[in-house]
Amino acid sequence: MRSKAVLITLAGVALYAQTPSLKIDLPSDSPVTLVSVDSGGTDASARGGAFFVDVHAALQLRNSSQRRVRAITLSVVSQEVTPGGKGSVSVPSLDVAPGEVFPLGVDLRLLRPIGSVSGTAVEVKLDGVLFDDLSFYGVDKLHSRRTLTVWELEARRDRQYFKKVLETAGRDALQKDMLDSLNRQADRPQPGVQMVRGRATNADPEREVSFAFLQLPGAPVEPTNGMAHIAGNEARAPRVEVHNRSERPVKYLEIGWIVKDQQGREFLAASMPADVNILPGRSSQVTQDGGLRFPERTAIQSMTGFVSTVEYGDGSYWIPSRASLNDSKLRRLVAPSPEEQRLSQIYLKKGLTGLVEELKKF
Amino acid sequence: MTAHVAETNLALYVSGDVSLWRSALVSLHLAQCSRCRNRADAYRSDRTQIQRIASEMPVGVESEPDWDRLAMEMTANIRVGLAAGECVAPRRRKPVTLGWRPAAAMAGLVVVLASAWWLNMPPSTTQALGRAMTAIWHGHGSVMQEERGLVVEATSSGIELRENGGTLGVSQGAARPLAVSVSVQGSASARYINADTGQMTITSVYAQ
């Protein structure tokens, strides 16, 4: 009798665990409000000592502010501390007028310890909203202010470029640019890359390899020297010396890290973001503890770095111009901006007319 | 002159332990050879002296011992010594013998446990173990060791977060991402496009 009761209790707990609850938590003064949510596809499955929580939710949000929403980031958290339980969903390139409703889909798989089955399984919170005047609202726990602002600046740069192509060279030139962009996206090498903490162990001897640098015109920060420890298919602990050649202090920068293997194949491996404090005319060093591991049989031969983003002390940003990105290596290896990819997909789906209509919206 | 009598034969002749024919030959030689005669006299003198010493031995030790009885006593004493040694030697354990049924049951249990352990290992660990065993089998000196810490991985099919050889967190949409990227600080992102709305969605996972 007692064993039956235990079995029934366990079955109840298991059933409860299979249907995780989803909580949408928006602040009371949030510029976006929840209109509806359909989380019917959300599911959980036990695996060892944890649950995989598959979050599939379709949200309808309303812009309840007085400004146009350009981008938004929601954090999706199933556990705060243990790795694997935190993700985010961002939507750049929005143009939502005040009062308008816009969709936002959440498709994530997260980890949740089995011991914490009680309570809300997954919490969706607002991390940040970017408006058309580049002002920001949000807790910014995931540094979404910086990310959303850079995406918006890139989107403006690329829309302006394509509009100019359309105005000055016509529809055929715009079409040619779109086809060129789609071809580059298809041809862009994208091998698997792992980011590992600390020393990734293998038996290969380690050596120091210096960076070569691409100097982008107009970049306020110039990388001058750098190296990383290389062992076979692993590169770790990159260190780059940078010089602030602008007249403003720099508090953040990102360096793109390009790797070339023994067969001459090149690919963009990762970005090196770094919080710094470099006064005008001064130099500093960017160091990272992490390392990168590439597929087996990839022997790293050389590395190239370039400054891809700079944030000044006053919160304004520098991003490379379209002309700077015309460098043959960058065009081949660096992914287009999210906006260029979005526009090229609209061209694929709706043709040149649909693309022109989309460009006219902004 | 013939050759001298051998020492052994001369000693046996003195004690009367040679055959009649050899005794006659030795007597004939001693009559002609003063050197052998002197050595025979020396043996006789020694024998007389030994008999005198034997007569002075303690009671129970006869001048003419009973060798058979001595041999029996010595054999008995050796046996007694061996028995005494058995008594003070460490006790030997009796070997445990299993019947075939318990042995078969234990073998089955080992197979079940090994299979359960193997099947419950994370796939990456299983693969790593397989690679290590293959490397050892082929006699390679160095065996690749797998990363046991946190790993953020971006591939053309999506992004993952793994720890201790097992997948801990995965972020992916149903569609194939347009682009993936990795930050050395411990995050990975994947870009997806909604084919119906054209909306770009960027999902990210964070190691911290």
Answer yes or no: do A241 and A350 share one domain.
Answer: no
- B206 is a domain residue: yes
Residue A78 sits in a domain whose CATH number is: 2.60.40
Q: Which residue has the higher pLDDT, A134 or B115?
A: A134
pLDDT of residue A68: 96
Are A37 and A3 contacting, i.e. CB atoms less than 8 angstroms apart? no
- B115 is a domain residue: no
CB contact, 8 Å: B48 with chain A? Answer: no
- B121 is a domain residue: no
Length of chain A equals 362
- A234 is a domain residue: yes
Answer yes or no: do A236 and A127 share one domain.
Answer: no
- B132 is a domain residue: no
pLDDT of residue A132: 95
Q: State how far the Cα of A8 lies from the Cα of B44, in Å rounded to an integer.
A: 113
- A5 is a domain residue: no
pLDDT band at B118 (very low <50, low <70, confident <90, very high): confident
- A1 is a domain residue: no
Answer yes or no: do A173 and A53 share one domain.
Answer: no
Tokens in use for A164? 């100019």
- A2 is a domain residue: no
- B97 is a domain residue: no
CB contact, 8 Å: B181 with chain A? Answer: yes
CB contact under 8 Å between B156 and A271, yes or no, is no
Domain of A179? Answer: 153-188+340-361
Are A223 and A306 contacting, i.e. CB atoms less than 8 angstroms apart? yes
Are B163 and B124 contacting, i.e. CB atoms less than 8 angstroms apart? no
Domain of B49? Answer: 7-60
For residue A1, the distance in angstroms to the closest alpha carbon of chain B comes to: 30
Chain B hits for A190, CB-CB cut-off 8 Å, are 155-156, 179-180
What's the structural domain count of chain B?
A: 2
For residue B113, the distance in angstroms to the closest alpha carbon of chain A comes to: 17
Q: What are B33-90's pLDDT values in tens digits?
A: 999 999 999 999 988 888 888 777 665 555 566 777 788 888 888 888 888 877 777 6
What's the structural domain count of chain A?
A: 3
Are A317 and A153 contacting, i.e. CB atoms less than 8 angstroms apart? yes
Q: Which residue has the higher pLDDT, A298 or B119?
A: A298
Answer yes or no: do A104 and A172 share one domain.
Answer: no
Chain A hits for B186, CB-CB cut-off 8 Å, are 195, 197, 290
- B71 is a domain residue: no
- Among residues A81, A110, A142, which one ends one of the domains? A142
Answer yes or no: do A314 and A200 share one domain.
Answer: yes
Mean pLDDT by 10 residues, chain A (362 residues): 49 48 88 90 69 81 96 83 72 95 85 57 89 96 95 96 95 94 87 72 75 91 93 89 96 93 86 94 91 84 92 95 87 90 93 94 86
Are B151 and A204 contacting, i.e. CB atoms less than 8 angstroms apart? no
Answer yes or no: do A26 and A118 share one domain.
Answer: yes
Answer yes or no: do A253 and A307 share one domain.
Answer: yes
pLDDT of residue A275: 94
- A29 is a domain residue: yes
* Interface probe with A: pick from B124, B200, B203, most Cβ of A within 10 Å: B200
Chain B hits for A105, CB-CB cut-off 8 Å, are 194, 199, 201
Max CA separation in chain B (angstroms): 145
- A136 is a domain residue: yes
Answer yes or no: do A353 and A327 share one domain.
Answer: no
* Interface probe with A: pick from B157, B204, B208, most Cβ of A within 10 Å: B204
Q: What are B139-151's pLDDT values in tens digits?
A: 554 444 444 566 7
When pLDDT is averaged across residues B113-130 and rounded to a whole number, the result is 68
Looking at residue B35, what DSSP letter applies? H
pLDDT of residue A81: 52
Answer yes or no: do A171 and A109 share one domain.
Answer: no
- A124 is a domain residue: yes
pLDDT of residue A213: 93
Q: Which residue has the higher pLDDT, B3 or B27?
A: B27
For the question of an ipTM over 0.95, the answer is: no
Answer yes or no: do A260 and A287 share one domain.
Answer: yes
- Looking at chain A, the number of H-run helices and the number of E-run strands are 4, 19
- Among residues B60, B78, B99, which one ends one of the domains? B60
Q: What are B122-178's pLDDT values in tens digits?
A: 555 566 666 667 666 665 544 444 445 667 777 777 777 666 544 544 555 556 788
Answer yes or no: do A295 and A250 share one domain.
Answer: yes
Looking at residue A246, what DSSP letter applies? S
Paired residues of A64 in beta bridges:
none
- B133 is a domain residue: no
Answer yes or no: do A205 and A232 share one domain.
Answer: yes
- B27 is a domain residue: yes
pLDDT of residue A196: 78
